[in-house]
Structure 1
């Protein structure tokens, strides 16, 4: 299929496919897809490929092992990755590699993809991997874009795509506001199911884009934008296949015949759920999730602030309002640079020179928009009956207007396609797809994120802003800072958008990220989540006590996964048979992801 044919093909929809778009978003998705293919210049991959064989097993033995697994699960449930790599786009993404790779696309690539249909089949795959000492890499739906997508950390791993056949919503309980889902349930699908049942008294919490797996996002500690935005804090109950093949249920799920698995997460004894988030200690096959009660009304609001130096005093205003829940949701404070990019237009529309787009151009463009010129934009939401909202909004207004030049934007003046309305929908528990638009900033747009966590303080926000701005200027990259404010901490999310067909720009993006990670760590700020390529570096910054935490993680890994088959290297945790062989990706290792073999039996 050519680019033109791929662009013209329609977007998959729910319920036709588990990974499809809801029909209410279909026209928006078609437009997003068209914009992406309009700027795509990267040639389609044409070369014929042999499947990549993971280190530690001979090719003939590997192919024989794949044939054995195909016999066990059915030929239709295993695909060998021997075809040209196709990038697709958000709604039609690959499960063989990272469609937004910052390395060569053949670097982090799967050898094959297997599709289990049940927890029992996941157990079969794990037993097979142990028998042949083949690395496996589970994904829920593979839409962890900006952090590695569906790519395995170890080249040649067999990807376990849990989403294709394990995509059932097992339960939605309208009385206790909980659900139980499999890995292939997206936020789009969960929202649609709740709507179809007429459960208007319940909301979901969605990330910026709703196509990702509820389990995948939660286990990677992703966030959304209602008061239930901390997804990991809102989960309750896991079913997990361990690397040796046993199955456990955590919390109340360990009690036979229990009736509180999704309502009380802790159960009795040590709380083990945490070791299965951002780790390679098990494969989550079921998860409970708590849902938000409909607050009885909501009202989005937006304020703009004129100067970069407004950041510090603004954070001092935000902190007490957020801690006291006057500012109720995980809101965003965005820089004007990303506001311009969110229109979905190529950078060349505004500027064709080298280096970051000049500030004067950004402000001139902002001045033409319905929102008007600004440097910072705060998107928030008030919840509850009208009289309660009015009280909270009055408090917020009096505080925000302490910043000279602060303006409250009247939503009635904003057109339907203004970015404000996407934030409005997401903060109201309605999944959207508009956030995708800023990848059109460059041809072949890809993105990777810098995501440090800090207290909600003006000094911290300023320090992170300044270090990010300095490094972006050094590498000639447009700087898009956005602060996502939790209850007592904030995540700075800096999206670097680059042309994935341009080696120079990919290299600059990775170097900028590596510098910012080290800069932030020296100031006491750690990443909460990162790309596959940066996991070793980020894990290394958590080095207190001569690396005591990593030593602890390695002990758990070796106990639970003695053969080192499950997602080796994920979050910087390497099994014993890989250690000391150069598998860690650092600045010194450059653009190569592989090490020098594995320990043989």
Structure 2
């Protein structure tokens, strides 16, 4: 592990706005501390030698054709905007992440890698790149920021694809409408960047941010990510897209399809999500049907708010807790998308490694977790609920009175306000996130293990205790079977809940990586057999999960393939994303299903 002296010499993280992916100056100290903690727990070298001729090539493309194509692309866009992936692979960390491979590699680091990266500066250049890809039949894989770590990061699903990095140069907040509370962003606008831009305007508007603020607003939305204010369903709060199709053709969705006066944007584009005829926006989320280059988002008017936490003493309380949550959520008494978290996360978000609490290699026993929790602000408990209410004081008081009354039905529950806990407690980070202020604090649980990476298992359940019990018990059992601590979080969105179970593994430990894959595969299969499917996943599990949505003899996949082949007959755009393979690659061994990792990642077993 890194020495204390080495940590003081860590280079500073680049700053925003000088670097599009950098950290705003107000976060410099928090960033420095987070980076030092992560590097203090690192044993991997910065990079390892790569084998074979570089860069790796995409399927069906020989080196002469590839070199000719890259030369043409450099001539078209400028050589400074095209980079070959022929250098050492550096994992970095969240704020200085790679765009060449998966920083949290659960398979060999060199498997899910690109051949090159291209940096368009405009929608027109994205169109030119797509036409170039069709000419040479080179698969491309667009990313916004590539920070969806835990789901594959910036890696392409098909080895050797050319990454289209939309974030570096397409990073403008194109418009903020203070009266209608909307904005238009390009892919490179992070939550940090949008927040800073709104602060400069002085407008009383909030953004909705996920747990960590360095991701792309557009990218997270089209991947159907979530945040924690009343606007937490990001895709439900988008409004209007500009999309480059796999042919290079450009379309606008919703009211943007109707030209505005004298060539201006339609004034209703960010006000109404639909147009006349079919609403097509959804086919560009979690798909490979087009590249979204501009998107409208609704912003939340600033309001008063009050965050709180409630602790519950018994593991088996969670069924009752969830059945209490449901009517509160349906009646909108819970003002936001709250979280119900296992108490082990109270330990993990301190930033201390697992070894600080427990010396064993097996999952931390419940009694050990509780013994540490009792000395923390949460006290001796099993579950912690984080929520926020919004509006004038009278409204907030009424909501909090009902919330206290209902959760008091769980014997031993305790209601805690931010002023009741120390300033460094995680509740204060939730206050900021739930009032639209981006954060980094959630990164602290990545110190749980050396070289810590994570895989997210993310099924959806109804907001019912009986459903929650089925998923929670199988996740708990399989984490224990495969030797991983279980750190579950329920994100509650009214009628449904996102169950987020993170597998934390040491990416330097090949056995842990093998077990992490096995655990994921088994959770996916068992949950699907009970009728529960994931809403989002890592690259290598996309094929398996897509197959679980198999009603009607895979009717949905047949529809997706029909759309894919119609829009992308050459199969150049993100082959395999969401389990959707174009005809060109279908049936050739590129799919990854259980046990396929043992023989191939991208078709080498065909």
Q: State the TM bucket, normalised to the shorter chain.
A: over 0.9
Of the structure 1 ranges 75-84 and 589-598, higher mean CA displacement relative to structure 2 is found in 589-598
Q: Please, which of 406, 411, 429 is the counterpart of residue 413 of structure 2? A: 406
C-alpha deviation, 1:409, in angstroms: 1.6
- Secondary structure of 2:151's partner? coil
Give CA deviations for 1:509-551 in whole Å, capped at 9, x if unaligned.
1110110011110111110000001000000000000000000
Q: Please, which of 49, 69, 73 is the counterpart of residue 47 of structure 1? A: 49
C-alpha deviation, 1:588, in angstroms: 2.6
CA contact (8 A) 1:55 1:597 kept: no
Distance 1:237 1:410, change over 3 A: closer
User: Does residue 1:259 correspond to 2:263, yes or no?
Assistant: no
Distance 1:485 1:48, change over 3 A: closer
Q: What is aligned with 2:108?
A: 104
C-alpha deviation, 1:55, in angstroms: 1.2
Q: Please, which of 296, 306, 320 is the counterpart of residue 288 of structure 1? A: 296
Q: What is aligned with 2:175?
A: 171
C-alpha deviation, 1:45, in angstroms: 1.9
CA distance in 2, matches of 1:577, 1:410: 57
- Secondary structure of 1:244's partner? coil
Q: What is aligned with 2:281?
A: 273
- Secondary structure of 1:526's partner? coil
C-alpha deviation, 1:24, in angstroms: 2.0
CA distance in 1, matches of 2:48, 2:302: 51
C-alpha deviation, 1:67, in angstroms: 1.2
Q: What is aligned with 2:12?
A: 10
Q: What is aligned with 1:433?
A: 440
Q: Please, which of 180, 186, 210 is the counterpart of residue 182 of structure 1? A: 186
C-alpha deviation, 1:308, in angstroms: 0.8
Give CA deviations for 1:15-74 in whole Å, capped at 9, x if unaligned.
221111122221111100001110110123242561001110111211121111111110
- Secondary structure of 1:430's partner? coil
Q: Please, which of 217, 220, 236 is the counterpart of residue 214 of structure 1? A: 217
User: Does residue 1:23 correspond to 2:25, yes or no?
Assistant: yes
The TM-score with structure 2 as length reference comes to: 0.97
C-alpha deviation, 1:597, in angstroms: 8.9
Q: Please, which of 94, 97, 107 is the counterpart of residue 98 of structure 2? A: 94
- Secondary structure of 1:286's partner? strand
User: Does residue 1:572 correspond to 2:584, yes or no?
Assistant: no
| Superposed counterparts of 1:137-536, under 5 Å | 137-199=141-203, 201-257=204-260, 258-295=266-303, 297-536=304-543
CA contact (8 A) 1:578 1:597 kept: no
User: Does residue 1:37 correspond to 2:45, yes or no?
Assistant: no
CA distance in 2, matches of 1:483, 1:113: 36
CA distance in 1, matches of 2:543, 2:450: 29
C-alpha deviation, 1:6, in angstroms: 10
- Secondary structure of 2:584's partner? helix
The TM-score with structure 1 as length reference comes to: 0.97
CA distance in 2, matches of 1:511, 1:342: 26
User: Does residue 1:134 correspond to 2:138, yes or no?
Assistant: yes
CA contact (8 A) 2:47 2:91 kept: no
CA distance in 2, matches of 1:309, 1:554: 44
Aligned residues: 595
CA contact (8 A) 2:50 2:110 kept: no
User: Does residue 1:60 correspond to 2:64, yes or no?
Assistant: yes
CA distance in 1, matches of 2:112, 2:510: 16
CA distance in 1, matches of 2:448, 2:338: 24
| Superposed counterparts of 1:63-74, under 5 Å | 63-74=67-78
Give CA deviations for 1:453-475 in whole Å, capped at 9, x if unaligned.
01000101111110001101101
CA distance in 2, matches of 1:588, 1:437: 32
CA contact (8 A) 2:7 2:39 kept: no
Of the structure 1 ranges 348-357 and 418-427, higher mean CA displacement relative to structure 2 is found in 348-357
CA distance in 1, matches of 2:542, 2:442: 25
User: Does residue 1:555 correspond to 2:562, yes or no?
Assistant: yes
CA contact (8 A) 1:178 1:262 kept: yes
Distance 1:542 1:352, change over 3 A: same
CA contact (8 A) 1:7 1:37 kept: no
Q: Structure 1 stretches of 5 or more lacking a match?
A: none
C-alpha deviation, 1:371, in angstroms: 2.1
CA contact (8 A) 1:449 1:530 kept: yes
Distance 1:161 1:101, change over 3 A: same
CA contact (8 A) 2:7 2:36 kept: no
C-alpha deviation, 1:410, in angstroms: 3.6
Distance 1:597 1:251, change over 3 A: farther
Give CA deviations for 1:303-352 in whole Å, capped at 9, x if unaligned.
00000110111111100000100011010000011221111111111112
Distance 1:232 1:6, change over 3 A: farther
CA contact (8 A) 1:334 1:378 kept: yes
- Secondary structure of 1:578's partner? coil
